[in-house]
Amino acid sequence: MIDLRSDTLSIPTREMLESIKIEDLGDSGRLDRFGRGEDRAVNELEDYACSLLEKERAVFFSSGTLANNAAILTHCKPEDKVLVDKIQHIYKTEKAVFSSKFGQLQPVFYNLDENGTPCLESLEKNLQGGNIKLLILENSHNFAGGTCIGLEKLREIHKLSKKHSVLIHMDGARIFNAAFSLKVDLREIVKYVDSVMFCLSKGLGAPMGSLLLGNSAFIGEVLEVKKILGGNMRQAGVIAAPGLYALKNNIGKLKMDNENAKYFGNMVKSNGKIRVQGNIETNIVMLDIEKTKLSTEEFCERAKEKGLYIRPVLENKVRLVFYSDISREDTIRAGEIILNLESEL
């Protein structure tokens, strides 16, 4: 079975797991007066992430959802207005910060344009509407099909939001895939945002974990929020060490995942009933199956019978995600399965 449900399926390598060193472990939730815990592997990972992204401070979380929640709840207080798009992971999947039971923030929606990036007019209109506390961007954008916000647009967005004194948080779960696609230095992207989260557990292949970065004052506040959300961990070096290994060894490999996605897209591009998304930018591919008259569940079931495991995500859309365990041969096989399925419709 070729499993393209998500890049979270990537399995850590033996070498990655062997990077865990017992002598580095400590209680990472027991903080000194500088807010640093006692697990050396966690501290090393946070420092490495800071230097990689050129941000003042980083903090390690067990998941991206927890890191996003902590970031947003640090930036905002209940009833604050937050600008998001409707298919953003934070709004559509994570939900907690907008729930009346938890974060109690008010979502205000901006539109995505035909390229799956924020529509500037829509952003400007909403920012002028006033009283926005935080703007959230997703880069690459998962449910939009792994689309990326280019530097030029990011500069415009930054200018607009600063004009209205609005902070920017970037959900950069797959920020390294985005940087490869945009062919820019990652630091050029994140310098336009006040806080950024990225995942170690997706294409980078670590078993779990995410980092949240921002300036020192912000991260100082995040540490408080992290603690009350239950985010403190103890010998977290057992997950931080594989995470550090991933950052040192696996970033370059993400390029291949982007290329496999493109290769797949070129293979199945047809004028038939299965429409592959126009511009494949990173490791995610969306298929529009409306014309097949199958439900997304039926479509995925048919693919599974042929040996390809994929997932319905939005109305009429199924998603395929490429990652390190998926070779070029697997990619070709996946393309053949979709073409074969199409020939039967």
Ligand X SMILES: *Cc1c(COP(=O)(O)O)cnc(C)c1O
165 CB-near residues (< 8 Å, 6+ apart)? none
Measured distance CA(116)–CA(180) in Å, rounded? 17
75 SS3 class: helix
Asked if omega into 140 is within 30° of 0 (cis), the reply is: yes
Could you give the string, one character per residue 137-166, with x where binding to ligand X holds by CB under 6 A and - elsewhere?
A: -x---x------------------------
Which of 2, 173, 286, 337 binds ligand X (CB under 6 A)? It is 173
CB of 202 to ligand X, least distance (A): 6
Q: Name the one range near ligand X by CB under 6 A: 57-65, 115-123, 227-235, 330-338.
A: 57-65
DSSP 155-212: HHHHHHHHHTT-EEEEE-TTHHHHHHHHTS-HHHHHTT-SEEEEESSSTT--SS-EEE
Q: Name the one range near ligand X by CB under 6 A: 58-66, 162-170, 246-254, 285-293.
A: 58-66
Q: Could you give the maximum distance between any two Cα atoms of the chain, in Å?
A: 65
Q: Toward ligand X, which CB reaches closer, 68 or 283? A: 68
Q: Does 59 bind ligand X (CB under 6 A)?
A: no
Q: Does 106 bind ligand X (CB under 6 A)?
A: no
Q: CB–CB of 220/227 below 8 Å?
A: no
Q: Does 85 bind ligand X (CB under 6 A)?
A: no
Q: Toward ligand X, which CB reaches closer, 69 or 316? A: 69
Q: Name the one range near ligand X by CB under 6 A: 64-72, 121-129, 272-280, 323-331.
A: 64-72
What's the CA angle centered on 304, arms 298 and 204, to 5 degrees? 115
Which of 12, 26, 37, 64 binds ligand X (CB under 6 A)? It is 64
DSSP 248-263: HHTTTTHHHHHHHHHH
Which of 193, 199, 318, 337 binds ligand X (CB under 6 A)? It is 199
Q: Does 19 bind ligand X (CB under 6 A)?
A: no
Site residues for ligand X, 239-298, by CB under 6 A, read none
Structure tokens, 330: 């697997």
CB of 163 to ligand X, least distance (A): 27
Measured distance CA(118)–CA(333) in Å, rounded? 34
CB of 7 to ligand X, least distance (A): 8
List contacts with ligand X (CB under 6 A). 63-65, 68, 89, 138, 142, 171, 173, 199, 201, 210
